[in-house]
Amino acid sequence: MYFCPIFVKITQVLFICTQYKAYCIVSLETEKMSKWRDPLFFISNLLFFIGMDKREDEELDRIKEKKLKEIMRDVSHKTEEVKPIIKPSGKPLDLTDATFKKFTEDNNLAVVDCWAPWCGPCRFVSPVIEELAGDYTGRIAFGKLNVDENNKVARQYGIMSIPTLLVFKNGKLIDQIVGAMPRQSLEPRIVRHL
C-alpha cells in the first residue's frame, strides 16, 4: 500500500491540530484508511475539523457570557435584599455590618445600641432603648447591632465594652456612651444632640 508524502504530512498536521480534542481524524488501521485516499473526502473533513475550533470557541464564548449574566443577576438580587428600612418606626431596627452605614447616614440623628445576647447589662438597657425609640419616633432613629454577629463595625469604632451606644448626627459619630444606665441618665445625653 502506498501513501503519498503530502497525504502523510497533512495527516500528521491534522493529528497535531486535533490531539487536544476528543477525536482524531486519522485512523492508522488499514481498512479505515481507504476512505481517506479520496481527496474530496479528505479536504472536506479537513475543512470541517479546522472550522470546528472556531465553532467551539464561539459556543464557549456564548456559554461564558450566559453564565456571567446569571452571576450578575444573582449578585444584583442579593444587594437588593440587603437594603435596610431606614425610616424610624417606633422600634429599634436590627442592623448588620452591611446596613449600618446607610442607617447612620440616612437619618439626621441616629443612635445605635451595640449589644450581645449573653450580656446582662445589655438586657437592662434594651427596654430603655425601646421606650426612647417609641417616644422620639420621627426625630431620632434607633438601631440595635449585635456585635457577636457583626464585628466589623465593633472593630471600626473600637468598641471594647458593651453595651455601647453610638450617637450619629448626619452620618458622623458625635458621642459614644459606654455602660448600662437608667433612662433618667441616658435620655438627656441623647436628646441634647437634637
Output the pLDDT for position 58.
78
Q: Which residue of the set 4, 17, 24, 122 is catalytic?
A: 122
Q: Is 87 helix (H, G, I), strand (E, B) or coil?
A: coil
Q: What is the pLDDT of residue 61?
A: 80
Give the dihedral sign, CA 86/91/95/101. positive
Number of neighbouring beta carbons within 10 Å of residue 142? 27
Among 111, 108, 175, 105, which Cα is nearest to 145's? Answer: 111
Dihedrals phi, psi of 28, to nearest 5 degrees: -85, -5
pLDDT tens digits in sequence order for the chain, 194 residues long: 455 555 554 555 455 445 444 344 444 444 455 555 566 565 666 556 555 555 667 787 888 788 777 777 776 655 444 444 445 567 899 999 999 999 999 999 999 999 999 999 999 999 999 999 999 998 999 999 999 999 899 999 999 999 999 999 999 999 999 999 999 999 999 999 88
**How much is the pLDDT for 36?**
52
pTM for the complete prediction?
0.56
Say if CB 134 and CB 91 are below 8 A apart.
Answer: yes
Q: CA torsion sign, 49 to 51 to 55 to 58?
A: positive
pLDDT of residue 76: 61
Quote the CA–CA distance of 71 and 53 in Å, as a whole number.
27
Cα 92 from Cα 126, distance rounded (Å): 9
Could you tell me where the DSSP H helices lie in 82-119? 97-105
Query: What pLDDT was estimated at residue 82?
Result: 47
Residue 98 C-alpha cell reads as 452591611
Active-site annotation holds for 17: no
Residue 119 known to be catalytic: yes
Alpha carbons 165 and 179: distance in angstroms, whole number: 8
The CA distances from residue 86 to 77, 89, 93, in Å, are 19, 9, 8
Number of other residues whose CB lies within 10 A of the CB of residue 12: 11
The dihedral of CA 118, 121, 127, 132: what is its sign? negative
For the chain, helix (H) and strand (E) counts, in that order, are: 7, 5
CA 89, CA 85: separation in Å to the nearest integer?
A: 9
From the list 17, 24, 114, 119, the catalytic residue is 119
